[in-house]
Copies of this chain bind each other. A is one copy, B any other.
């Protein structure tokens, strides 16, 4: 009899975006003429930049001729892309990496979800709260989190590190020993960041406790303040304890084109039960080459073009466009008396719902009175209750209109 992985049966339904869709549809039926503006979803809207488009066209033409056709990519990705990543994203910040420490993949979602597979089942996992749900769900599927308690919205064996206005969104070191720590900075969903000093506390903690930090830097390109670290490897000692996830989704609009990369320095170790140190790089390489078959050549060429001079200029313009949206949202909401966070080094604006509104009540109010759709903070974890996420990925026109409307709502 084929038994199922019963950990899957413990997962709560992923109702967040389904609930949003249901509420929006109901509203539409009642108000068919309402001009609904969606600032809820973390998906980009501006097209791929010309340098990327040209590179994909060129690579596609190569695929049309036997002499230049490419079959299987190396599972780890082509050197032409890995070399540019290392030079541009790391060497420029004083970080040295070897080519076999960088793994090209189809997405930071896949990598952050799959990385836990190389770890044993007994590790204690810690996540900031609120959090990107993939870190939690992938560990729950692997049986690392115990049981889900629908009353608290928490897994029994998961360590939650609350990040709220009260602690200025800076997670405190856990009082219980943890082994795998997911950190995402600039943060999704709160849009907040950590300074080098704050991040160093975590690196030191991991070194002392032989823990591993899974650092998601998918929003790195949105950092505007020079003192904020772009890579965890800017922190001394991080190469001993941290794996870093990066993506072309948000810096170059690749959400529908799929390319990302993950850095696993050879100096990062895990341990056997008998205490022997094991290079995680070797385990991830084995996982990546057994359960994955490389990214499309044409897509890797597109990603490479992001690093060309024109590519860099073009994506900077796109990011600046979104960040101007972020400014409009942030300042607009603040001027109407709402408490806002993020939006300075991030396309996400996290706001405290006004007195008397929980996340979903605020959602309803905004939908009904401003015809604006955002994301209830509680959808990202218990500490997201009483918060709400707006994103800067809309069009300028819609963003301006949405904020004007929100400003006219009386809470």
Contact = CB atoms under 8 A, between A and B. Distances in A.
Interface string A221-257: 0000000000000000000000000000000010111
Which among A45, A48, A70, A71 has the highest number of chain B CB atoms within 10 Å?
A71
Interface in A245-274: 253, 255-258, 270-273
A257 B64 CA distance: 12
Interface in A318-361: none
A240 to B, nearest CB: 12
Interface in A49-68: 50, 53, 56-57, 60-61, 63-66
Copies in the complex: 2
A270 B63 contact: no
A345 B56 CA distance: 35
A120 B393 CA distance: 41
B47 A120 contact: no
Nearest to A275: B1
A69 to B, nearest CB: 4
Nearest to A106: B106
Given A5-B118, A5-B120, 17 more contacts: A1-B210, A2-B119, A4-B118, A4-B278, A11-B286, A14-B290, A47-B65, A53-B60, A56-B298, A71-B253, A72-B255, A106-B293, A107-B293, A110-B291, A117-B141, A134-B291, A258-B296
Interface of A: 1-6, 8-9, 11, 14, 43-48, 50, 53, 56-57, 60-61, 63-66, 69-73, 106-107, 109-110, 113-114, 117-123, 134, 137-138, 141, 179-180, 209-212, 253, 255-258, 270-273, 278, 280, 283, 286-287, 289-299, 395
